[in-house]
Amino acid sequence: MANDIKSREIAFLIIKKVLDDGATLDGAIDHYSRDISSKDRGFIRHVCTTEIRRLGQLDKIINSCTKTKLGNTQMAIRHVLRLGLAQLLFSEVPAHAAVNTSVELVDKKVSKKLQYLKNTVNAVLRKVDREREELLKKSSNTRLNFPKWLLQSWDQRYGQSTVKDMLGAMLEEAPLDLSLKPDCDAALWAEKLKGKVVPDGGVRITKAGKVVEIEGYFDGIWWVQDMAARIPARLLGLSSGDRVLDLCAAPGGKAAQSAAAGALVTAVDFSTGRMKRLGENMARLDLKVDVITSDVLTYAPEEKYDYILLDAPCSSTGTIRRHPEILHIRRKEDVIQMVEIQTKMLDHAQTLLKEGGVLIYCVCSLEQEEGPDQIKALLERHGSLKRKEIKLSEMPELDQAILETGDVQTLPHYAQGGMDGFFISRIIKT
C-alpha cells in the first residue's frame, strides 16, 4: 500500500469529482473503487476524507510553503499536494512513500502544461516533512476547515465552546452504527463484530471495507443506522398493529425500526431508485413494509394515520462527520430553500394525521431555521397542533440533547464516538 500509485490515482480522481464537480464522496468512491480490495478502498477513503475534512488546514500549510501561484488553473497540483499532506500528516504512510507517489501522480494524472510544477510538489512535501511539528502547530485551528457562514450560525446558536467540541468530532472518522432486529442478541453480535453495545441497544463497530462484507448482512440480522437516527422512531412508542406513515422514508432505517416493532408501515418517497433499494433492504431483513413511490406533497391516502414520521429533506449539516463534502457543496441559500420545502411537507403531513395522532418531525441538521424555528412557525400556523414534550425518562442516555422546549437536538460530539446531529420534535393533533 505504501508505494501503490494506483490507489493514489483513484483518490485523485475522487477528489476532483467531489471538489471540482460537486459529487458526493460516497458516490465518487463507489464509482471509482468498484474493483479494488477492501484494504485499498479503506486507504482511499481515509486520504480522501482527510483532505476534504481538513482542507483549510492543508491549504494554509501549502500556502506557507510555496510562493508559486496555485489558483484554479493549477488546481490539479493543489489536489496532489493536499493528498500528499493528508498522508504525511494524518496517516501512517512513510514520508518517502507519500512524497514519491505524489510526484509520480503529477506524471500520471496532471496535464502536460502543469508538469513544470512537479519540482514544486517535491519541494513542498519535503519541506513539510522536515518542519511538520511547527507547521501543524501554526495550522492547528480547526475553524480553518469550516465556511464562515456555518461558523457564524453555530456560534450564535450553540456558543463557541460547544462549537469547538462539535468541530473536533466532525474531523474524526465516524464509527458504523448497526440497528439489530428485536430478537437478536446485541452483546453476542457486538462480540462477533468486534464492536460494542451502545446505550440504546445498537452495536457500534469500526467500519472496515464494504458493508455487505460484514457478518450478518445477508442473514438480515441488522441494518446500518446512526445512533441519533434511531431516536425519532423510538419516540413514537409504537406497539404491534399501529399504523405508521413514514414520509421521505428512504433509505429505510426508520421504516425498519417501526416494522420490527410490529407496526403496519407505509413508506413513501419520490425516488424510484431509492425506494427500490428500500424494498430490497426490507426483503433482506424479512420485514413487511408497504412501499409507495410518490411525491410526499401529493400523497393522498384514503385513511388518516395515528402516527406519522417526517424525516424531511434538509441541509444535512448534522452529518458532516460522515459526509464532509457538505462543507464545500452546501451554501446558505440551500438552507433557505430547504426550509421552504420542509414547511410545505409539514403542512401537508398534518392533514394526513388523525385527531389525537402523533407526528414526529426530524432533520439531520444543526441549523436553527430547520429545527426550532420550523416547529415554532408550524404551531403558530395550526392551532390544532401541540408539542408533545420529550421527557428525560424516554432517553436518559442523552439528557443533554433535550431542549427546554421539549424538543431534541443531538450534536456530533455527544456520546463516546459521537453521533449525527439531529433535530427532533414530537407533535400531537388535538
Query: 18 and 127 share a domain?
Result: yes
Query: 310 and 205 share a domain?
Result: no
For a pLDDT cut of 70, what percent of the chain falls above it?
Answer: 99
pLDDT in tens, 52-106: 999 999 999 999 999 888 989 899 999 999 999 999 999 999 999 999 999 999 9
For a pLDDT cut of 90, what percent of the chain falls above it?
Answer: 93
Please check the confidence at residue 11 and state whether its pLDDT lies above 90.
Answer: yes
Q: What mean pLDDT comes out for the span 214-218?
A: 96
Among the candidates 203, 225, 247, a domain finishes at 225
Query: 74 and 137 share a domain?
Result: yes
In a domain, 150, yes or no: no
Residue 289: which H helix or E strand, with range? strand 289-293
DSSP E strand boundaries for 134-191? 176-180
Per-residue pLDDT, 38: 83
Whole-angstrom distance, CA of residue 261 vs CA of residue 89: 46
Residue 329's SS3 state is helix
Per-residue pLDDT, 74: 94
Query: 126 and 189 share a domain?
Result: no
How many residues belong to the chain? Answer: 430
In a domain, 312, yes or no: yes
Please check the confidence at residue 1 and state whether its pLDDT lies above 60.
Answer: no
Query: 386 and 302 share a domain?
Result: yes
pLDDT in tens, 140-196: 999 999 999 999 999 999 999 999 999 999 999 999 999 999 999 999 999 999 999
Query: 188 and 235 share a domain?
Result: no
Whole-angstrom distance, CA of residue 83 vs CA of residue 15: 9
Please check the confidence at residue 130 and state whether its pLDDT lies above 60.
Answer: yes
Task: Using pLDDT thresholds of 50, 70 and 90, give the confidence band for residue 208.
Answer: low
**Residue 56: CATH number of its domain:** 1.10.940.10
Query: C-alpha grid cell for residue 177?
Result: 452504527
Query: 388 and 422 share a domain?
Result: yes
Query: 309 and 284 share a domain?
Result: yes
- The number of domains in the chain is 3
The string over 225-259, giving b where at least 16 C-beta atoms fall within 10 Å of a residue's C-beta and e elsewhere, is: bbbbbbbbbbbbebeeebbbbbbbbbbbbbbbbbb
Q: Identify the weakest region by mean pLDDT among 36-40, 120-124, 184-188, 405-409.
A: 36-40
pLDDT in tens, 272-305: 999 999 999 999 999 999 999 999 999 999 999 9
Q: What mean pLDDT comes out for the span 362-389?
A: 99
Cα first-last separation, the chain: 62
Query: 100 and 71 share a domain?
Result: yes
Among the candidates 225, 254, 283, a domain finishes at 225
Query: 312 and 413 share a domain?
Result: yes
Query: 392 and 343 share a domain?
Result: yes
Q: Which residue, among 243, 228, 175, 183, has the nearest Cα to 204 in the 3D structure?
A: 175
**Residue 391: CATH number of its domain:** 3.40.50.150
Per-residue pLDDT, 35: 83
In a domain, 64, yes or no: yes
In a domain, 158, yes or no: no
In a domain, 173, yes or no: no
pLDDT in tens, 309-361: 999 999 999 999 999 999 999 999 999 999 999 999 999 999 999 999 999 99
Its domain, for residue 105, covers: 5-145
In a domain, 159, yes or no: no
The gap from C-alpha 113 to its chain's centroid, in whole angstroms, comes to 38
Helix, strand, coil percentages, rounded to 5, for the chain: 55, 15, 35
Residue labelled with grid coordinates 428512504: 250
In a domain, 60, yes or no: yes
Whole-angstrom distance, CA of residue 53 vs CA of residue 47: 10
**54: Cβ–Cβ under 8 A, 6 or more apart, which residues?**
86, 90, 145, 171
Q: Do residues 425 and 415 touch, judged by C-beta distance below 8 A?
A: no
Query: 247 and 102 share a domain?
Result: no
Please check the confidence at residue 217 and state whether its pLDDT lies above 80.
Answer: yes
Per-residue pLDDT, 39: 86
